[in-house]
Structure 1
Amino acid sequence: MFLNRITLLQDRISSFHEYPFSIPYIKHLDYIDLKSQVTFFVGENGSGKSTLLEAIADKCEFNTAGGGRNNLYDVHASGSVLGEYISLSWLPKVTRGFFLRAESFYHFASHIDDIKGIEAYGGRSLHEQSHGESFLSLFLNRFKGKAIYLLDEPEAALSPQRQLAFLKILHTLASKGDSQFIIATHSPILLGYPNATILSFDHGPIKEIEYEMTDHYQITKYFLQNREKFLQELLEE
């Protein structure tokens, strides 16, 4: 592990009534200790998990539109408001890594074409691959050791089978002990990765929870085991 603590600089915040400081967990946040090579952020849309991940990327000096330190291009509204209000504690600090922002990955792919950098991604334009293929190409070719990877909903382009392929890539890197992952996700498949820390952003203070206690696991399990009853109850309300 490299990044071991995220601290909110509360004394710099003048008001908790404006976004992003109005997000419920921020009012209760002093710091978060990271205990595992792989940490998952979970929570409903709007809970602030992506906002914090983006702020971490900003402090790492990664492009908050998606990419690493050397990927210089602009996407409207991709800046981090929260980045100026957190500090990161490292042991040791690393400067290599990548921020995957699924919603702006198209722009990242265009940037790679513009700088004629496709050789670093298997020699084929990311735009000439399916969405899922391009994500896996990124993971296979760009992700190396001694780095930190910040991934915002990587499952957005991945089928269940490709999510399993991603878990294999993640495990290969994390098990060597020189790669760290922080992943915001809704995927019950990804959340099942063994020995990961899962941090819930729902209902106020950020807290660590077990896999089986996540809504993602419980709802998916109930749906698969009681599909007809579940849909009947849902659709007849």
Structure 2
Amino acid sequence: MARKRQSAEGGFTGGMDTFLRSVTFLREDVPELGKYPFSIPAVRSLETLELHPRVTFFVGENGSGKSTLVEGIAVAAGFNAEGGSRNFNFATRRSESELHKYLRLSRGTRRPKTGYFLRAESFFNVATEIENNPDAMLSHGGIHHHEVSHGEAFLALVQNRFWAEGLYILDEPEAALSPQRQLALLRSIHELVGSSCQFLISTHSPLLLAYPNARIYHLSEQGLAEVAYEQTEHYSLTRDFLLNREAYLRRLLE
């Protein structure tokens, strides 16, 4: 079980009430632990994962299981596997894992008034569902997401459909965003956090990971562990490359 971490403001973040307090993997109920996704080291080693009341990040290499874990939490929380709000119920192609069946969510006394599961890889399908539903179009600000760039559509959805007192689960949102738009997303996240929202985010972006006082979990072959921002490879590799660009390029290209 991850231990409670002291925040920069003082006190323990674990004592603050939130929508989702923790996620527990019901290992004893799994019929075959050697089968995907339970064979992923970070999933197999999972016990109880404490979530930050504001922002929790999941980071790791491709294939480490962060998107699988985020998807499992989202489906267990009642969201459609391909994305959208809890009112969305469609399947372009069923591809979600069975992980959600073996996750128990510990909820706080508060209940979210709204929420959204936003994932980069299936956003096209969500945008199509929005445009095919007049009520959904209205609630999403009337934006035709297929008529703007992927990044503009992503950011417009956050700015028009993410409301106060919501639970928001994002899977690699930076995939569609330029660095400048990532900073705009960071600003939107901060404004929503100030309106009693909670975020769970899987990401590769050192810009998003810089959000202050967030909780960061690193998924790897060794399992899952909480880390500081400066301990992430995303921060250290980006910093070292920018400070020693010529040396890095010589090693890579020569």
1:26 Cα deviation after fit: 2.3
* Aligned CA distance change for structure 1 residues 124 and 35 (closer, same or farther; 3 Å): closer
Unpaired runs of 5+ residues, structure 1, are none
> Against the structure 1 CA distance between its residues 83 and 95, is the aligned structure 2 distance closer, same or farther, given a 3 Å change threshold?
farther
Does 1:196 pair with 2:214? Answer: yes
1:72 to partner: Cα distance: 2.0
Superposed CA deviations along residues 1-37 of structure 1, whole A, max 9, x for unmatched, are 2101100001111222110010012222111011340
1:152 partnered with 2:138:
no
What is the distance in 1 between the residues matched to 2:32 and 2:138? 47
In structure 2, the residue corresponding to 1:80 is in which secondary structure? coil
Is residue 45 from structure 1 mapped to residue 62 from structure 2 by the alignment?
Answer: yes
How many Å separate the matches in 1 of 2:33 and 2:73?
Answer: 20
Whether 1:26 and 2:43 are equivalent positions in the alignment is yes
Aligned position for 1:231: 249
Q: Distance in 2 between matches of 1:138 and 1:174?
A: 17
Q: Quick one: distance in 1 between partners of 2:143 and 2:167?
A: 25
Question: Which one is further off, 201-210 or 118-127?
Answer: 118-127
Q: Which amino acid aligns with 1:126?
A: H
Question: In percent, how many aligned pairs have the same letter?
Answer: 49
Q: Give the letter for the 1:119 counterpart.
A: L
State the match for 1:171 in structure 2.
190
What does 1:32-181 align with in structure 2 at a 5 Å threshold?
32-92=49-109, 93-94=111-112, 96-116=114-134, 117-176=136-195, 178-181=196-199
Aligned residue pairs total: 235
In 1, distance between residues paired with 2:161 and 2:155?
Answer: 10
Alpha-carbon contact 2:20-2:53 (below 8 Å) kept: no
Who is 2:13 aligned against?
Answer: none
> Residue 222 and residue 82 in structure 1: after superposition, are their counterparts in 2 closer, same or farther (change >3 A)?
same
1:78, CA displacement in angstroms?
A: 3.4
- TM-score, normalising length from structure 2? 0.89
Could you tell me how far apart the structure 2 residues matched to 1:87 and 1:142 are? 27
Moved more, 161-170 or 65-74: 65-74
AA in 1 matched with 2:187: K
Per-residue displacement from partner, 1:91-126 (whole Å, max 9, x unpaired)? 124363110111010010110111123232332311
Cα displacement string for residues 185-219 of structure 1 (whole angstroms, at most 9, x for unaligned residues): 00000000111111001132311101111000011
Letter in 1 for 2:40: I
